[in-house]
A and B are shown apart, each in its own frame.
Chain A
């Protein structure tokens, strides 16, 4: 069975909610919709206090080239456009809407019928995806339409659908594959048309045999789509690792997957593309896994963007008494949150609650040069040596150690027997090298 060659770790999978079907969360009383939900610039608000909005109505527009539209996830009145705390832990500009009823924009096709026939042209598809505000739903939130515009002189050969879900606990992609398989396969076909490719691979780790079997069976109807079962290894969901695993091609340092003829899209993104293109439905809701060792009812919820996480935690049986940390995303790469008032955003694939005793880091001791960090680094870096440059301020050395290649998967810190905060220091080094490069450009 295929997997990427060098590095990687095996955190305990803990897919507690894998067998729980997606539940639709009730529409909340108010939503808080941050304007910065994708990579790139924050969007520009189009509504003011007192405006009436409908579900699916455009309320903020992509500001620059890399930026994405934002739509209202509820119907009601805009209460204010103001600062509120978001997943970054800082106060950021948000549109706050008081909910009245649940009235959708008329152009959205709300019928449950499957629409398999793809009538739009390549250009129409890309512009529809852009209008619908779709971003990478795996967590990186890169605007999808930009990924579909292949740069001059490059050619896409393969579309790779990332259905690896290698983070522990998370199961939202898994459930989409089981419950929305036809839709997402049509979504894949749409993406293939937009990229003008004839071959697509769906990479799934073999801890999801039901999804592999289901999609393998259904994909027979769709020409050019192949399901590729992968051996479980973290971080296989990293796009460079995934391409290496499926096609054995190495994306060079500092380059994008298109360099080796690939475009990678997340499986939930493919489903959102189906809804946008076939049903004219913008991205205003997503599936979020709520899980954790002590969580009473781990679940997968279809949530309107802007719903406060406290509502989701309530739905999962309340916050357990021993909770010491709440993570947005998976425990390997996710962000620790500092408030229960933080709203769900497009990139939030899950909420993982950790008990107090696991929330604290282990005691740090001297590096014993065991070199485990080097052997688990999927990018072939020397994490300890890079981390040291952050402590001593040697930016040039960090740069020569290829710090910018780091994908921040956390395998090094996960495995370090001395409990060193390797990734934390590497992030510092990365930041400084970034500043250095910008200064040089001036």
Chain B
């Protein structure tokens, strides 16, 4: 399709504003900085995200993504900026997932959580501070995303996810990342993702360990480890051994890598396998799952 005159104007502005950049490996790149992108967005009446996408399509890298491009390429960054990811839960896992997805440059985040921060969260929930105790997690998370990357669109839902509302909350999300703390809610997420035919990055933690699995709609998913009977536990060993601060950071980081792999097509998602991380023993095990 031919670009409109307005599109050509935006492209011209972006190209004319680009600056040369000598990469550490000696490669000559063109980049655009935050202030310039914001100024073009303002003058052209478009979003900063649209400016960034336009720049990347011209081979011009927003400086903020310079360290992303080597692993995912220009196309990968464009795909991320054009993608909607839902994060269910904005606590231990969810807070770090949101933080990293914002830095990675996922274009639209849907954040779902009905809780407020309490003192019990301070040890591990990256977005909780002494100052914001009592505030809704989604409110704090949206503010944080805006501070990290103002080009990102954020939609928040101050609701508890259920089987009944999950599909509505996910809306047009293309991937869902798990920041939950109980199994019934995870099963509701899995069911909704199957119905919406989108992938679900499951993870959970306890003590120094955690587990992770990426579930596509056609995969066996959670029943492959918990079984298909109704006698499944609501909570696990974490009620005995707790959740120290490093564990959610480790597991959430792996979840973010899964989301990035799914969206960009780079690498191989952890499908039909359970990844068991045990920081206590410096061990990562992978069990291939079968039907």
A binds B: no
